[in-house]
Structure 1
Amino acid sequence: MMRRIASRRAMSAVLAAATLFAGLWMSATATADDTAPEPPATAQSIYGGTGPHPVATAVRTNPCQESIVGMFQHIAVHIFGNRDDMTCTQAFPNGLESPAGVNTYYPADIADLGSAPLIVMTGGIDANPGMYDRLARQWVSNGFVVMIPYEWFNSLAYVPAAGLAVAIMANRDPNSPLFNRIDLSRTFVAGHSAGGAASQQIAAVLPSVASLIDPTLRLAGVLAIEPGPIAVGALLNVPTLYLTGFNDFVVPDFAWVRWWQYNTTFNAPAWIANARGVSHFSPVDGTDAYLSSGTAVAWLRYMAFGDETAKRFFVGQDWLLPSDKTYFSVERNPLATALR
């Protein structure tokens, strides 16, 4: 009898100890979870979403695979890893509308803004302008007017020049909702692939003739997204951001985008960021899937609006972009390093 009582007491003691240990472990785990640091903010987490401004545009898009040409484009980008289906307009050969033109996007509340900076965005060879609809809407929602000029080749300076001309005419047209609403002194040229080269081409000549085109026109920067080879950084005199992709086999980060573009940008601040998980066609994916979309917005907001939060990713001794795990490598040239 005494042995049974002793055994039960021993068992009770073991259970009590086990219960106490489990309670302490759960408490410690809860405390660790409660005090675990938040993951560091990235440009994508802050700026990768939609901004506060509603978007106005006459552009209408449809799934690219609704046309034969679009179906081949649709298959190609998914082979390269795109997550989302692309959108296209009816511009030929994806439809029966004109193969050349300029699509316009602007903040629907632009009258309340007073004015908005301009981005002229040129796509790549064989790209339909509707493929950049999501990027355009993201930029507009952050307070920019966006022009997307297009034709099939999209590789030379006359394409962004056409977009700039349409913007200037809209700014001068009393019947346009953009009449005196585009701040031409904050004009940016942007481009993807071939369009990235075309944007650098026009940026090389525009500053010297801008005042002849319009007394208020000033080129504020170049956003070159996985740009084609027909451009030289040494000819640029305005701040330039090069965005490349670690999975891009069409415009590899180690090729011309460094050899004679970023590495020869001696006359202006320049940055280059090589994103993990980004292929050549990621910029026509959804903006949340294109992992550099937030960095593009941050740089544009820093350059156009002096956004102090965005500025921290690019300026100062402790600039934030190098610690962003999105990027395999990040660099800036001496003129960018000297910025304060």
Structure 2
Amino acid sequence: MTGITLRPVLAAAACAASIALSATVVAAPTAGAAPRPPVPPVGATADPALADFAKPGPLKVRTNYATGPCDRSLMGLIMGLQAHAEGNFEIAQCSDAFPYGLGSPVGVQIFAPVGAKAKGPYPPVIFVPGIAGNAGQYTTLARTWASHGFVVALPFTFWNSMIEVPTLGTAVLAHLNGRPGDPLYRKVDFSRVTYAGHSAGGQGALQAASVYQDAGRAVIPNFRVVGVFTIQNGPLAVGSTVHVPALILGGRKDIVVPPWAWQKMWQYNDLQSAPGYYAVAKSAHHLDVARSAATNPFVGVTTAWLLYTAYRDRQAAEVFVGRDWALKHDKTFDEVLRNRAATRARLPQGTPTAPVRTRQR
């Protein structure tokens, strides 16, 4: 399936995005800039279980947007200055979506497994960027998830705040999944949907997970939300409306989204009817989500979460389930909690359904 193109659809209101699969550009430092390693290494983990999940999976991945260094645009330079102020001197990736370029400010970037091993159908992950965020900034996360057997859609509208953004991502995937001849035709398994997001996009993900468990089936017969996770998410959502397993991730050095505020008070603390988890990365600032895999504190834990909730992978489940669950030991995080429903959860039985077994112990 090399040279493949996703032909379709860009919707500004109902679904849209011309899709042509192309390899993502690898991030590189700007010319003449001496690399400055983060101190301390933000993504360093003391638990091999999580380190394993931070590694790329076995599947090749293509995306429909070409990306390059964010600092090639004024908006990207501004975002880069914020990241530098937070101690992150890596150069994030951005597409040309306005205001980072002259591309449409509304669209859906898709990361999908390709190649001989890519069989599908795969569970979808609909991940919403933060306000003013560029989908390309989440390349490390999205590529890792897709390489482990997920179709990842990052819908964006620049404001990226409310339920209409994950709705856009869901609609575009549904359109491509039902379009004969498209590379994603019948490759998306809507019985295993995950909503997710960063910053304001995280509150939109919680809203979608609250509403679409029932409403989604009115449009897509086999639709089912299996989980939601948020990274440093906004305040306009409450945990009491979420009835699927939820993981809320914060950053101890985040001054935009203080983890002790709404993330803990009325989101995690109000999660009662489904397993809920709360973890704070002790060295993470607000834009560390855009870091490379070596220093990104959120890659391993989110990949494990997806494999656990969507594939019922037993090794991934051990990160969250059982008396000696691995997440509580990981020194990347200085506060890790789970609610009563999560404490009662049991490890999956039988053969894992992940498409390719990638980790041996």
Give your verdict on TM over 0.5: yes
Report the 3-state secondary structure (helix = DSSP H, G, I; strand = E; otherwise coil) of the residue aligned with 1:264.
Answer: coil
Whether 1:91 aligns to 2:97 is: yes
Residue in 2 that maps onto 1:153 = 159
Report the 3-state secondary structure (helix = DSSP H, G, I; strand = E; otherwise coil) of the residue aligned with 2:190.
Answer: strand
Question: Matches of 1:44 and 1:279 in 2, distance apart?
Answer: 20
Code of the aligned partner of 1:207: Q
Whether 1:208 aligns to 2:188 is: no
Contact 2:46 2:331 in 1 (8 A): no
Number of residue pairs aligned between Structure 1 and Structure 2? 302
Question: Matches of 1:306 and 1:250 in 2, distance apart?
Answer: 34
Distance 1:148 1:206, change over 3 A: same
Offset, 1:83: 3.8
Residue deviations 1:238-293, cap 9 Å, x none? 10001111111111111000111000011111101111211111111112211121
Code of the aligned partner of 2:225: L
Aligned residue among 110, 113, 117 for 2:119: 113
Contact 2:47 2:329 in 1 (8 A): no
Report the 3-state secondary structure (helix = DSSP H, G, I; strand = E; otherwise coil) of the residue aligned with 1:202.
Answer: helix
Residue deviations 1:97-155, cap 9 Å, x none? 11111111100038742311100010001101111122111110111000000011100
Question: Matches of 1:213 and 1:110 in 2, distance apart?
Answer: 32
Question: Matches of 2:227 and 2:120 in 1, distance apart?
Answer: 22
Residue in 2 that maps onto 1:228 = 234
Residue in 2 that maps onto 1:331 = 337
| Percent identical residues | 39
Distance 1:223 1:110, change over 3 A: farther
Contact 1:99 1:151 in 2 (8 A): yes
Report the 3-state secondary structure (helix = DSSP H, G, I; strand = E; otherwise coil) of the residue aligned with 1:325.
Answer: coil
Residue in 2 that maps onto 1:260 = 266
Contact 2:46 2:332 in 1 (8 A): no
Report the 3-state secondary structure (helix = DSSP H, G, I; strand = E; otherwise coil) of the residue aligned with 1:197.
Answer: helix
Offset, 1:40: 6.1
Aligned residue among 73, 88, 94 for 1:82: 88
Post-superposition, which runs of at least 4 consecutive aligned residues in structure 1 deviate over 2 A? 39-44, 109-114
Output the aligned Cα RMSD. 1.4
Question: Matches of 1:123 and 1:284 in 2, distance apart?
Answer: 11
Aligned residue among 45, 50, 71 for 1:44: 50
Distance 1:111 1:312, change over 3 A: closer
Which runs of 5 or more residues in structure 1 are unaligned? Answer: 1-38
Residue deviations 1:151-187, cap 9 Å, x none? 1110000001000000111110002111111111011
Residue deviations 1:299-325, cap 9 Å, x none? 111111111111111001111111111
Distance 1:110 1:240, change over 3 A: farther
TM-score by length of 2: 0.81
Whether 1:298 aligns to 2:304 is: yes
Aligned residue among 79, 86, 108 for 1:73: 79
Contact 1:83 1:289 in 2 (8 A): no
Distance 1:197 1:40, change over 3 A: closer
Report the 3-state secondary structure (helix = DSSP H, G, I; strand = E; otherwise coil) of the residue aligned with 1:253.
Answer: coil
Question: Matches of 1:240 and 1:317 in 2, distance apart?
Answer: 19
Contact 2:307 2:313 in 1 (8 A): yes
Whether 1:242 aligns to 2:248 is: yes
Code of the aligned partner of 2:127: M
Question: Matches of 1:110 and 1:209 in 2, distance apart?
Answer: 35
TM-score by length of 1: 0.86
Distance 1:80 1:195, change over 3 A: same
Whether 1:188 aligns to 2:194 is: yes
Code of the aligned partner of 1:104: I
Contact 2:61 2:112 in 1 (8 A): yes
Code of the aligned partner of 2:200: A
Whether 1:129 aligns to 2:111 is: no
Residue in 2 that maps onto 1:275 = 281
